[in-house]
A = this chain, B = another copy of it.
Amino acid sequence: MAKITIKDVARRAGVQPSTVSRAIHNHPDIKPATRARILQTIEELGFIPDRAAQSFRTGKNHSVSVMLPSPGNDFYIRLINAIDEVLEQHDYDAAVFPMLSQRRLARYQNPQALPYQTDGLMLVSLDPEQLYDDLHTLQGLPTVVLEVHSRHFDSVTLNNPLGGKLAAQHLQERPAETFVMCYAPEPQAAGVPSSGVFEERLQGFLQFFEKVGTPVPLDHQVRVNFDWPKVQEAARTVLSRRQAEPFNVFAVCDLFAHALLEEIREQGLTLGEDVRLVGYDLEPHPSGTASVHQAAEEMGRRATEMLMERILQPDLPIRHVQVDPVLKVGRS
């Protein structure tokens, strides 16, 4: 029961190993009949090409690594699915590397670590400058950065200021007292997602209202970090500061929106009537709310296509793509 190699197939089919190789890879210069016969033999013997030998020989292993903070939230799942879809078309596969621990952070400083044993790397919500002590770790590995802008690598970012602006426009068409629940940056945990995106959303939001001459006062901007009890408290604060119904709220991320939704329900307010809430990537999308929809799918597709191109042509100039969100309005 020794390993079946390309030689065994060749012998059995009465051809040379090189011809078997051509058959496997749909090489044009092969007579269909020969090809069919070889594939037949492959079936019979249950031959499976040795991928280690293939990647050794060709220098490609048809896989890419996706590094991200910690998956499981809806945005990342949609993103990974989009990536998978494009990769599949290129006959590639994705391995996921969630940066769950300090141990991994340290381990992956080493250029020999597993994530870099692929043909390409996608860094999601991770800033390479913060992640790596020395960018040299990536040794010229084809890389594209998602959700973060980078000078050194291809990148796909979301137009966060536009997201804020869309939220603002929506609310401005429904004039009322307007609040925003925004993110208060903390001492940065090493290598984790740059909080810049929330600030960008906020600024896009504030700037719109400034331009139209109705700036959002400071005490209508409630800042909080990601500590759930504090988030709940902040949601209560927002509601307590309102003068009357209806009033408007923009939540820069879904965690904040969920806290608000809970509080709104408890106080017996009606969404879309008493309070107009605009969230970010709300899922499920409750009626009576609006939500800036992040184009996770488009971001994933674009990034994957860029990566595939760079794998084929490593010397391409660096490219940056920005993807626009759209506003989704729940039917009320």
A residues near B, CB below 8 A? 48-53, 55-56, 59, 61, 63, 70-73, 77, 80-81, 84-85, 88, 93-98, 100-101, 103-104, 107, 111-114, 117, 139, 266
Identify A101's interface contact among B49, B59, B63, B81, CB under 8 A.
B81
Number of copies of this protein chain within its complex: 2
What residues of B have a CB within 8 angstroms of the CB of A71 in the complex?
70-72, 98
Identify A103's interface contact among B88, B104, B139, CB under 8 A.
B88
Give the shortest distance, in Å, between A44 (CB) and chain B (any CB). 15
Known: A84-B101, A85-B103. 7 other contacts (CB 8 A): A50-B56, A52-B55, A52-B59, A61-B117, A72-B73, A81-B101, A88-B107
Identify A61's interface contact among B52, B85, B111, CB under 8 A.
B52
A100 and chain B: residue at smallest CB distance: B77
Known contacts A96-B96, A97-B95, A266-B266; is-contact A103 B81 (Cβ 8 Å): yes
Taking a contact as CB atoms under 8 Å apart, the answer to whether A56 and B63 are in contact is no
Give the shortest distance, in Å, between A61 (CB) and chain B (any CB). 7
Taking a contact as CB atoms under 8 Å apart, the answer to whether B100 and A81 are in contact is yes
Taking a contact as CB atoms under 8 Å apart, the answer to whether B114 and A63 are in contact is yes
What residues of B have a CB within 8 angstroms of the CB of A97 in the complex?
95-96
What residues of B have a CB within 8 angstroms of the CB of A95 in the complex?
95-97, 114
A sample of 27 inter-chain contacts (CB < 8 A) reads: A48-B111, A48-B112, A51-B112, A52-B117, A56-B56, A61-B117, A63-B114, A63-B117, A70-B71, A70-B72, A72-B72, A72-B73, A80-B100, A81-B101, A84-B103, A84-B104, A84-B107, A85-B103, A88-B103, A93-B113, A93-B114, A94-B114, A95-B95, A95-B96, A95-B97, A96-B97, A266-B266
Most buried by B among A49, A59, A80, A98: A98
What residues of B have a CB within 8 angstroms of the CB of A53 in the complex?
56
What residues of B have a CB within 8 angstroms of the CB of A70 in the complex?
71-72, 77
Give the shortest distance, in Å, between A303 (CB) and chain B (any CB). 17
What residues of B have a CB within 8 angstroms of the CB of A112 in the complex?
48-49, 51
Taking a contact as CB atoms under 8 Å apart, the answer to whether A117 and B266 are in contact is no
What residues of B have a CB within 8 angstroms of the CB of A266 in the complex?
266
What residues of B have a CB within 8 angstroms of the CB of A51 in the complex?
112, 117
Top 3 closest A-B pairs, CB basis?
A72-B72, A93-B114, A56-B56
